[in-house]
Amino acid sequence: MRRKYIILLFIIFLSSCEKNNENDMLLKFYGDAYENIGYSLAKSDDGYFISGQVTDITRTDNYIEGSVKRMGIIKTGSDGNVIWEKSLGERQPAVGLKVLALDDGSAICAGYVIDTVTLEKDIFVARVGEDGTVLAQNIYKSEGNQYSNDIVKTQEGFLILGTTDVKNTLVTDASGNLTGKKDILLVRINNDLEEISQPVQKGFPGNDEGVVIKADLNGGYIIAGTTDRIENKSLQAGNNILILKVNADGSVTEPRILNGIADEYAVDIEVLNDWYLIAGTIGSDESAQKGYVWGISNNIYADPLFSHEIDLEPSTSIKSSFAIKAIDRYKTNSFVMAGQIIKGSSAQMLIFITDAEGTLVEGKIKVLGGTGTQVAYDVTSDEEDNIMVTGKNSYENNSMISLLKFRF
């Protein structure tokens, strides 16, 4: 059935966000009809790369004849204006979950494609030049479902942090993977996006997912994620935070589970001088979530340095539900965190500043929303204290990629 494309949709999106009186706030939207989402944001020398999901639309006159979801990469100037846009994935639906800006002005994006017959996922990586030329792309096919959550630059190329549900036959009480459960997957590739060695699968018999990988101080890498393995079920139900280190050669240390008292989900990690700050969310029910932070020593098997909820509303007894989606360093000893807050029936974009131990800095909180649903999926900052956020602005069955830039 053909659907009429309604230009008024753009007006709805533009009017659904609060406008700040600050002259230095920039708010931009990208995308066409249906579903467009910004999942990742990277600074370049002259602007930004945004990656996510875009919907390619086929039209005849003012009618939509067809659509397909693609991995989207958008290059903008520092003013948010589009320089070029790319939709990738060959003939398959695709999503880009992480984009990196590289030293030569190019960008690399990792995510997945979906087989239109089996509906299974495969890891998909694409590299795009400074002018938008597609330099290389590769689909890493395997049995079962695989997708990439993150990618990091290495001396030999790149290391993909993925997830797989392929059975690991070496199943014991504390290792392996059962059919249909999730395991962490590491794929080493060179600059031409060719695999260097066999992928490494790591995890417990249940569900384990790495969500972020960062370069570590020792030349290796640190991964944070979530596991449903619980050491003491009498104290906790739900999920725990999972940490593991990767050596420079791609070998993996034994994971560390942070045994908590709540249902915990990691979302991001920052590598500091001799410790790590992990940000996450406790609670799987959207109406009762809270942001949470953990300070972890460089010796990941030591007791946490600290762990606590983040209180965004210290003066009220009834707290709004909120979830953290990303963090980044801000100035010298602070962090900017972004995600979504639920106020009544409205879900709004949330950005706030914390000190070095994850405690809210008074007066440094911004909530942006209106009609529909807004969420921030990634955040970064620059030397001029600008904060840049990407996410989505949804109204009914449509959403657009959003870019917010402002200063507190």
Radius of gyration of the chain (CA): 21
CA dist., res. 182 & res. 11, Å (int): 41
Burial group, residue 144, by CB count within 10 angstroms (0-12, 13-18, 19+): middle
| Number of structural domains in the chain | 1
Q: Per-residue pLDDT for 357 more than 50? A: yes
Identify the weakest region by mean pLDDT among 11-15, 300-304, 366-370: 11-15
pLDDT band at 13 (very low <50, low <70, confident <90, very high): very low
Asked, for residue 7, whether it belongs to a domain, the answer is yes
pLDDT digits (tens, 9 = 90+) for 373-404: 999 999 999 999 999 999 999 988 899 999 99
The reply to whether 370 falls in a domain is no
Q: Which residues pair with 281 in a beta bridge?
A: 265, 291
In a domain, 74, yes or no: yes
pLDDT at 15: 38
Q: Per residue, what are the HEC states of the chain?
A: CCEECCCHHHHHHHHCCCCCCCCCCEEEEECCCCCCEEEEEEEECCEEEEEEEEEEEEEECCEEEEEEEEEEEEEEECCCCEEEEEEECCCCCEEEEEEEECCCCCEEEEEEEECCCCCCEEEEEEEECCCCCEEEEEEECCCCCEEEEEEEECCCCEEEEEEECCCEEEEECCEEECCCCCEEEEEEECCCCCECCCCEEECCCCCEEEEEEEECCCCCEEEEEEECCCCCCCCCCCCEEEEEEECCCCCECCCEEECCCCCEEEEEEEECCCEEEEEEEECCCHHHCEEEEEEEECCCCCCCCEEEECCCCCCCCCCCEEEEEEEEEECCCEEEEEEEEEECCEEEEEEEEECCCCCEEEEEEEEECCCCEEEEEEEEECCCCCEEEEEEEEECCEEEEEEEEECC
- The domain of 44 spans 1-11+24-153
Q: Judging by DSSP bridges, how do beta strands 373-381 and 387-395 pair with one another?
A: antiparallel
Mean pLDDT of the chain: 89
- 310 within domain boundaries: no
268 and 278 Cβ atoms separated by less than 8 Å: yes
CB distance 86 to 109 below 8 Å: no
From 363, 205, 341, select the one nearest 281 (Cα to Cα).
Answer: 341
Please give the pLDDT value at position 61. 82
Using the predicted structure, report yes or no on whether residue 132 has a pLDDT greater than 80: yes
CA distance 230 to 238: 8
pLDDT band at 2 (very low <50, low <70, confident <90, very high): very low
Cα separation of 214 and 225, whole Å?
12
Structure confidence by residue, pLDDT tens digits, 264-282: 999 999 999 999 999 999 9
Q: Is the pLDDT of residue 158 over 90?
A: yes
Give the closest residue to 310 by CA, choosing from 373, 267, 368, 273. 267
Q: What confidence score (pLDDT) does residue 1 get?
A: 39
Identify whether 305 is part of a domain: no
Q: What is the mean pLDDT of residues 25-47?
A: 95
Residue 304 has, within 13 A of its CA and on its CB side, a CA count of 17
Residue type, 222: I
* Cβ pair 245, 256 in contact under 8 A: no
247 is written with which tokens? 């050596």
Distance (Å, rounded) from C-alpha 190 to C-alpha 171?
31
Mean pLDDT for the stretch of residues 167-186: 77
Please report whether residue 75 resides in a domain: yes
Q: What gap in Å lies between CA 168 and CA 185, rounded to an integer?
A: 11
Of the candidates 93, 87, 164, the residue with the CA atom closest to the CA atom of residue 126: 87
Least confident of 113-117, 155-159, 242-246, 341-345: 341-345
- Residue that wins the pLDDT comparison between 370 and 16: 370
- In degrees and rounded to multiples of 5, residue 173 shows phi and psi of -65, -25
Q: How confident is the model at residue 251 (pLDDT cuts 50, 70, 90)?
A: confident
Residue 224: inside a domain: no
- Residue 176 within any structural domain of the chain: no
**Rounded distance, CA 146 to CA 139, Å?**
10
Share of the chain above pLDDT 70, in %: 90
- The pTM of the full predicted model, rounded to 2 decimals, is 0.91
